[in-house]
Amino acid sequence: MTRLQLLEVIRNGENSGVEFKRDTIENRQLAKGLVSFANLNGGRLLLGVDNDGTIAGLTRPDLEAWVMQACRDKIRPEIIPFFEVLRDVEPGKDVAIVQVERGWSVHHVWHGNHRTYYLRVGSTTREASQEELERLFQQRGAFRLELRAVSGGSLDDLDLRRLHDYFSRIRGQACPPIADRRAWEDLLVNTELMIQEADRAIPTVAGLLLFGLTPNKFLPQAGIDAVAYPGTEKDYAAHERASLRGPITPLLSVGGLVENGIVEQAIAFVRRNTSVSAKLVDGARREERFAYPDEAIREAVVNAIAHRDYLLSATDIELSVFADRIEIISPGRLPNGITPERMKAGCRAARNQLIKDVMRDFGYLEHMGMGVPRKIVKGMLEHNGTEPDLVEDGERFIVRLYQKRN
């Protein structure tokens, strides 16, 4: 970094990626700032600068060694920052830049035999709440909410009809008799749909979402809020409002569909709230054409269900049908470094791997993970020449499918 670049950074003030400190701080304060950056998206801590941007200069001897020692002694897992000193930023006053990248794991400050996790929030550093910490571990791949036990649940809260169909017909394996509870609990524990805690088996989040009789009894966020509006904006005067509830998976048999899962409910909602055109084929046969291809709607809904952040418990997936478009909003940021551009290219990553695997077994997802580029992007282009929008907007991911584009 040049002197002019540094002065510009200082002039812009503290933010989510920049913090000012004098070099007289304790090593714990240094570690606190660096941990908060590593747990967000990385950042720079400028030593020798006051909070108001005044350049105080450096006073500590052997500053680099002190910084590196603090990163070894006070931060777990240890980090090695980039360190440099810019001389004479103002006459006779030097400034040190200590820069860290986004961590691959979750870091904490180790002090007094106690660990404390910090996050950078705007221009401040604060201790992470329990919910923030869980989400942070989930983002780093160290924690999977879908495998957590759901307190109060039991085998009685799972639909054994759906489970029997899944294991016997779809997976082609032997199943215990419906009445053999112990054998079913053993099978479901071994497949991570339940978890053994003390002397009882308890459904996991994934188990209830996929095969629960009433998932919302335990997981209020397990559903889709669907609304059909008459125009192009949200309006109280909706054509239809529906809370789509139930397990993700359908109940199937050799003869076909017996009971809808939540994906089928969403597709049915879109169909009855969008237009259908018809034309004669070969001068005699009538062919219906829906406003949106089922495969594109299915893929967008399936992705929202499979990849949403279920730690965000206060909100459902949103399905909005407008006069000119459909919007499907999934709570949470995209997982594991995925971006809309990488999704369009077919990059694969999963926040909820077990849910994704079971939905793939049911044929909802492609084994090659090419659903977004093939079914959503290519599917809409072939259907009506429109290109869908894939947008990450803060703590939500939005898919927009258009009837036509201006």
Block means of pLDDT (10 residues each) for the chain, 406 residues, are 94 96 96 94 95 95 95 92 95 96 89 92 92 78 78 93 93 92 95 90 95 93 94 91 95 81 94 79 67 91 89 86 95 80 79 90 78 90 92 90 79
Judge residue 113's burial from the number of C-beta atoms within 10 Å of its C-beta, 0-12 exposed, 13-18 middle, 19 or more buried. Answer: exposed
Q: According to the model, what pLDDT value does residue 143 have?
A: 64
Q: How many CA atoms lie within 13 A of 359 on its CB side?
A: 29
Q: According to the model, what pLDDT value does residue 132 have?
A: 84
Q: According to the model, what pLDDT value does residue 315 have?
A: 85
- How far is 378 from 345, CA to CA, in rounded Å? 12
Beta strands in 103-253 (DSSP E): 108-111, 114-116, 118-121, 124-127, 194-197, 200-203, 224-228, 240-244, 251-253
From the centroid of its chain, how far is CA 350? 9
Q: According to the model, what pLDDT value does residue 312 have?
A: 79
Q: According to the model, what pLDDT value does residue 287 have?
A: 67
Q: According to the model, what pLDDT value does residue 256 have?
A: 77
Which class would CATH give 3-140? alpha beta
CATH topology of domain 224-402: Heat Shock Protein 90 (3.30.565)
Q: According to the model, what pLDDT value does residue 346 have?
A: 76
- Ranges for all domains in the chain classified under CATH 3.30.950.30: 3-140
Residue 314 is classified by DSSP as T
- Ranges for all domains in the chain classified under CATH 3.30.565.60: 224-402
Which residues sit opposite 97 in a β-bridge? 46, 84
Tell me which amino acid residue 7 is. L
DSSP-derived secondary structure for 355-385: HHHHHHHTTSS-TTS-HIIIIIIIHHHHHHS
Q: How many CA atoms lie within 13 A of 161 on its CB side?
A: 10
Q: According to the model, what pLDDT value does residue 18 have?
A: 97
Q: Report residue 220 as tokens.
A: 């209020």
